[in-house]
Amino acid sequence: MKIYLVGGAIRDKLLKINVKDKDWVVVGSDIQSMLKLGFKLVGKDFPVFLHPTTYEEYALARTEYKNGHGYKGFKYYSTPFISLKEDLFRRDLTINAIAQDNLGNFYDPYNGLKDIKKRILRHVSSSFKDDPLRVLRVARFAAKLKYLNFKIHDSTLELMKIMSNSGELLYLKPERIWKETYLALKSNHPHIFFQILKKCNALSIIFPEINQLYGIPAPVKWHPEIDTGIHTMLTLKIISQLTKNVSTRFAALCHDLGKGLTPKKLWPRHPGHGIAGIPLIKKLCKKLKIPNNYKILSLLAAKIHDIIHDIYNQKPIDILNIYNIIDAWRKPERVEQIALISEADARGRLTLESLEYKQGKYFINMYKYISTLDIKNIINNFNLKGININKKIQKERIKLIKYFLKLKN
């Protein structure tokens, strides 16, 4: 029996990325032998074990073949006679198909070390196309490793197009799509993920709501880039520079979905696009089983992001209404989230990326000022009950907003 470290741990170590998880492959063993050594069997579809002390994953060397649709349409074959080379052959990218023994020696039959050096994302073999999830995985790796100048090899991108056009992506489970999307949104360049999906014809299948935005014009006065799809990617790029919070990034991605429903006769204007986007956001979140807090923030951002642009001209009652709508008093973090999304929207335009967005800070500082109101004092010192308490609080908040506006004018 021989044990090798494989996959992402080797890749990340070579790229000087913090290694979080280690995966191991076991050659020359079987299930019974592993159990006798104290390993715990956890794999449902193929033999994967947890180490008795480190709890790291150890998988028996295996081969696989396509036997149906989607990423689950596989049959796995594992015996003590399967070689390390055969096991690595089934992996997605050459940079993930490197093994290392306990002496530190690399086993690299598919030139992954060379591709790491050249910063290339390249498929190991034509069997890559058997697993449709790999289209999303490669797009996600492209986003994750963009800062290291990794690029997808032309042959791999061509294979991804073939996979997208085959109909196989339709069989992907929502949970798997969201997992890859979530990991992409966590990266430094999540817009690359969606751009790659667009490039290989997968965006129209996985995210038709976003794909629909491409080719839809916006007024050149406000949007030098003109195309709403391009604007959406620029917005995602900016928001990712402003915050690492994934729910905020996702909400920024969805902020203009309503423009995909604007009748052509109204182009390039998009009146009411924020409200129009609400059903699309709900549908997308339901389809991919996206967490509820992501959905709520996205709905709020769609409704409000344009209003923040015009915050200086809003009436005190309307400003208070914004804070009430986002439930800022119980969810204060939403104030900054909405401000950042509006900033990303304003700066996510060609030639305007360095724009100083004062409205966001204004919106945040006004909230901080209003939050100085002593609610307990109102409850304890005024003889009020029920709804009258809330009316008094709202009245006092209006006074503070008016005073804040005087101080700033």
CA angle 79, 85, 90 (to 5 degrees): 80
Residue 289 lies in a domain: no
What average pLDDT does range 2-21 have in this prediction? Answer: 95
User: E-assigned strands of 150-284?
Assistant: 151-152
Count other C-beta atoms under 10 Å from residue 327's C-beta: 12
Residue 370 lies in a domain: no
pLDDT on residue 64: 80
- pTM for this entry: 0.93
Asked if 140 and 134 touch (Cβ cutoff 8 Å), the reply is no
What average pLDDT does range 107-111 have in this prediction? Answer: 98
What average pLDDT does range 304-310 have in this prediction? Answer: 96
pLDDT on residue 67: 63
Residue 312 lies in a domain: no
Show the domain range for 90.
1-118
List CB contacts of 60: < 8 A, sequence separation 6 or more. Answer: 25, 26, 29, 30, 31, 34, 46, 47, 48, 78, 82
pLDDT on residue 125: 95
Residue with tokens 């208070």: 320
User: DSSP of 239-266, one letter per residue?
Assistant: HHHH---HHHHHHHHHTTGGGGGS-GGG
Q: What percent of the chain shows pLDDT beyond 70?
A: 97
Cis peptide, bond prior to residue 268, ω within 30 of zero: yes
pLDDT on residue 69: 62
Residue 379 lies in a domain: yes
- Please say which residue of 118, 145, 170 terminates a domain: 118
pLDDT on residue 77: 79
Residue 194 lies in a domain: no
Please say whether the dihedral angle defined by the alpha carbons of residues 399, 404, 405 and 407, taken in this order, is positive or negative. Answer: positive
User: What is the rounded distance in angstroms from the CA atom of residue 55 to the CA atom of residue 347?
Assistant: 46
Q: How far apart are the first and last CA of the chain?
A: 77
- Please say which residue of 100, 118, 136 terminates a domain: 118
Considering the chain, what is the average pLDDT of its residues? Answer: 94
pLDDT on residue 124: 98
Q: pLDDT of 63-92, one tens digit each?
A: 887 666 655 656 777 889 999 999 999 999
Residue 54 lies in a domain: yes
Query: How many Å is the Cα radius of gyration of the chain?
Result: 26
pLDDT over 90 at 354, yes or no:
yes
Where is average pLDDT lowest: 61-70, 130-139, 191-200, 222-231? 61-70
Residue 387 lies in a domain: yes
The CATH number assigned to the domain holding 90 equals 3.30.460.10
Residue 5: both structure tokens together: 């470290």
What average pLDDT does range 242-246 have in this prediction? Answer: 98
Q: pLDDT of 183-206, one tens digit each?
A: 999 999 999 999 999 999 999 999
User: What is the rounded distance in angstroms from the CA atom of residue 93 to the CA atom of residue 390?
Assistant: 59
Give how many domains the chain has, as a whole number.
2
Asked if 256 and 213 touch (Cβ cutoff 8 Å), the reply is yes
Q: pLDDT of 257-296, one tens digit each?
A: 999 999 999 999 999 999 999 999 999 999 999 999 999 9
* pLDDT confidence tier of residue 122, bands split at 50, 70 and 90: very high
Residue 47 lies in a domain: yes
pLDDT on residue 380: 78
pLDDT on residue 378: 85
Q: What percent of the chain shows pLDDT beyond 90?
A: 88
- Please say which residue of 103, 118, 133 terminates a domain: 118
